[in-house]
């Protein structure tokens, strides 16, 4: 599994022009990197949506994603997918741990951010601002372009 995540990180590094952070003097908060963030458009008539991202912990201490908020949603939760018998279901989790040197992928079919009480629908081309809350690193602000899952798959 570790190898898979490592390969994934390399693959995504190839499609991101930003240079790698290699300065050994940066604070631990600077060792967390978020990539490939995006949100799904809200389906018609539904005020709920999901967000996806990759969190890379380049530091030497584990961190935990403990919450998220957005001005575009009344509430944002971190969800995981579990098997309930033969049915895949999602449920909120209190924290998502990202071990030292590890990568956590929030992607369709797996863990994700869940936006509730979305007053104004997420539509293609918009950007949704989200503040992630980490136990060690504190708040990290990110922007999620709104797009369809297929567009993401095609880009890799």
Cα 75 from Cα 69, distance rounded (Å): 6
The pair of three-digit structure tokens given for residue 125, joined into one six-digit string: 């081309």
3-state secondary structure of 11: helix
Distance CA 96, CA 104 (A): 8
Is 93 one of the binding residues for Cu ion (CB under 5 A)?
Answer: no
- For 2, the enclosing helix (H) or strand (E) is helix 2-14
Site for Cu ion contains 79 (CB under 5 A): yes
Candidate residues 12, 114, 140, 149; the one interacting with Cu ion per rule CB under 5 A: 114
Contact 154, 86 (CB under 8 A): no
Region for residue 102 given its phi and psi (left: phi exceeds 0; alpha: psi -120 to 50; beta: otherwise): beta
Q: For residue 107, which phi and psi values (nearest 5 degrees)? A: -145, 160
If one asks whether residue 106 binds Cu ion (CB under 5 A), the answer comes out as no
Residue of minimal Cβ distance to Cu ion: 79
Binding residues for Cu ion, rule CB under 5 A, total: 3
Site string for Cu ion, 35-74 (x = CB under 5 A): ----------------------------------------
Interface residue with Cu ion among 12, 29, 90, 93 (CB under 5 A) is 90
The stretch among 10-18, 21-29, 79-87, 98-106 that binds Cu ion (CB under 5 A) is 79-87
Q: Which stretch binds Cu ion (CB under 5 A): 1-9, 15-23, 87-95, 134-142?
A: 87-95
Binding residues for Cu ion, rule: CB under 5 A, are 79, 90, 114
């Amino acid at each position: 599994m570790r190898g898979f995540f490592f390969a994934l990180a390399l693959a995504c590094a190839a499609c991101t022009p930003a240079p790698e952070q290699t300065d050994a003097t940066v604070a631990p908060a600077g060792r967390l990197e978020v990539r490939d963030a995006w949100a799904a458009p809200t389906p018609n008539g539904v005020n709920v949506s999901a967000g996806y991202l990759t969190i890379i912990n380049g530091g030497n201490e584990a961190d935990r994603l403990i919450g998220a908020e957005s001005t575009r949603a009344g509430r944002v939760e971190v969800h995981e997918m579990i098997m309930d018998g033969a049915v895949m279901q999602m449920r909120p989790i209190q924290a998502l741990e990202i071990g030292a040197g590890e990568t956590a992928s929030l992607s369709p079919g797996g863990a994700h951010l869940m936006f509730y009480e979305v007053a104004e629908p997420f539509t293609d081309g918009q950007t949704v601002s989200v503040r992630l809350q980490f136990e060690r690193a504190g708040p990290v602000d990110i922007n999620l372009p709104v797009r369809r899952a297929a567009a993401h798959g095609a880009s890799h």
